[in-house]
Amino acid sequence: MKTIGNQISLHNGVTMPQHGFGVYKITDPAEMETAIHKALGTGYRLFDTAQMYENEAMLGEVLHNSSLPRKELFITSKINNGNQGYDQTLFTFEESLADLQLSQLDLLLVHWPSEKHFFDTWRAFERLYEEKMVRGIGVCNYQIHHLEQLKTKANVMPMVNQIEIHPYLTQVSLREYLHKENIAVEAWSPIARGNVLNDEVIVDIAKQHQKTTAQVALRWHVQHGTIFIPKSKTPERIAENADIYNFELTTEDMAKIDGLNKDYRTGPDPDKVYPTI
Ligand SMILES: NC(=O)c1ccc[n+]([C@@H]2O[C@H](COP(=O)([O-])OP(=O)(O)OC[C@H]3O[C@@H](n4cnc5c(N)ncnc54)[C@H](OP(=O)(O)O)[C@@H]3O)[C@@H](O)[C@H]2O)c1
């Protein structure tokens, strides 16, 4: 069966697909079934959910009923903000695992940095990793200072930091730091929830390559070596977003897209969330 994209090696030796599928906001079982069947058939193998999305059970059911062997799938979930802390993380992780119908998760992420539970949550993550309940542990929305703080006490550093990245939020300094620290970069909202799709520069590049603007934006992630997880509930778009391995952006195209940064966030600023959790 065909699969899309490259594999990325994490610092613990585990490999994960670079090109995945996000399921945020898919909360209708029929919609989930249609989307996941289409995604599996198109070659997506990395699926990104979270306790916050309230769809782990729905995703678990569809994947469980699919004909794909478990080892071909890479499943990520995230501990919700209200579930942080040592005991709550361990307890709710078990619930997530049961909902997903799994005995081991591929990647568990802290959803947002929390000032109050900062080290306790991570201690629980290290325990789950040590006990091989998860093949990898990581964080989301961590800034450089959060990772420097984590370093002061962590036994195992995150394998992945999942952050908002798209042509309007290129995160150059954070990406450089993560590269230096050997933490894989994963982009959420890789097309800025559609906000970059009418950009004139991207429209122009898309015309030159006879591709759509979504395909150009996603190809930009491929060529940056970033893991990325576009979401769509629409079968045609699920296929469109995967059809990006038959063209290449030139160095000039890449530089033009890099130049679109305007520090525009579709989601909250992690530094504003941090003191509130
Ligand atoms: N860690 C975090 O804090 C965090 C935060 C946000 C998201 N995430 C993860 O990242 C994933 C992706 O981010 P996202 O869902 O926020 O944004 P996104 O993937 O950038 O954009 C999704 C939106 O774009 C539309 N779309 C998808 N492909 C398209 C195409 N080819 N042409 C036109 N429109 C298209 C989708 O519409 P339809 O569905 O209607 O087709 C949907 O409205 C999420 O699903 C989630 O797994 C993580």
Q: For residue 104, give the DSSP letter.
A: S
Whether this prediction's pTM lies above 0.95 is answered by yes
- Is residue 175 within 8 A of residue 165, CB to CB? The reply is yes
Structure tokens at 179: 């590269």
DSSP annotation string for 55-81: -HHHHHHHHHTSSS-GGG-EEEEEE-G
Ligand 1 probe mutation, 19, 24, 146, most atoms within 8 A of CB? 24
pLDDT in tens, the chain (277 residues): 689 999 999 999 999 999 999 999 999 999 999 999 999 999 999 999 999 999 999 999 999 999 899 999 999 999 999 999 999 999 999 999 999 999 999 999 999 999 999 999 999 999 999 999 999 999 999 999 999 999 999 999 999 999 999 999 999 999 999 999 999 999 999 999 999 999 999 999 999 999 999 999 999 999 999 999 999 999 999 999 999 999 999 999 999 999 999 999 999 999 999 999 9
CA distance 50 to 27: 12
Ligand 1 probe mutation, 164, 168, 189, 219, most atoms within 8 A of CB? 189
Q: Which atom of ligand 1 approaches the CA of 240 most closely?
A: 31
SS3 112: coil
CA distance 102 to 96: 9
Residue whose CA is at the smallest distance from ligand 1 atom 38: 232
CB atoms within 10 A of CB 221: 24
SS3 187: strand
CA distance 103 to 118: 26
Ligand 1 center from residue 87 Cα (angstroms): 31
Q: For residue 194, give the DSSP letter.
A: G
- CA 35 remoteness from chain centre: 17
Annotated active-site residue 53? The verdict is yes
172 DSSP β-pair partners: none
Q: What is the pLDDT of residue 1?
A: 67
Of 44, 53, 142, 274, catalytic: 53
CB atoms within 10 A of CB 130: 12
Q: Strands 7-9 and 15-17, how do they pair?
A: antiparallel
Q: Say how many CA atoms lie within 13 Å of 40 toward its Cβ.
A: 20
- Can you give the C-alpha Rg of the chain in angstroms? 18
Structure tokens at 49: 């959910």
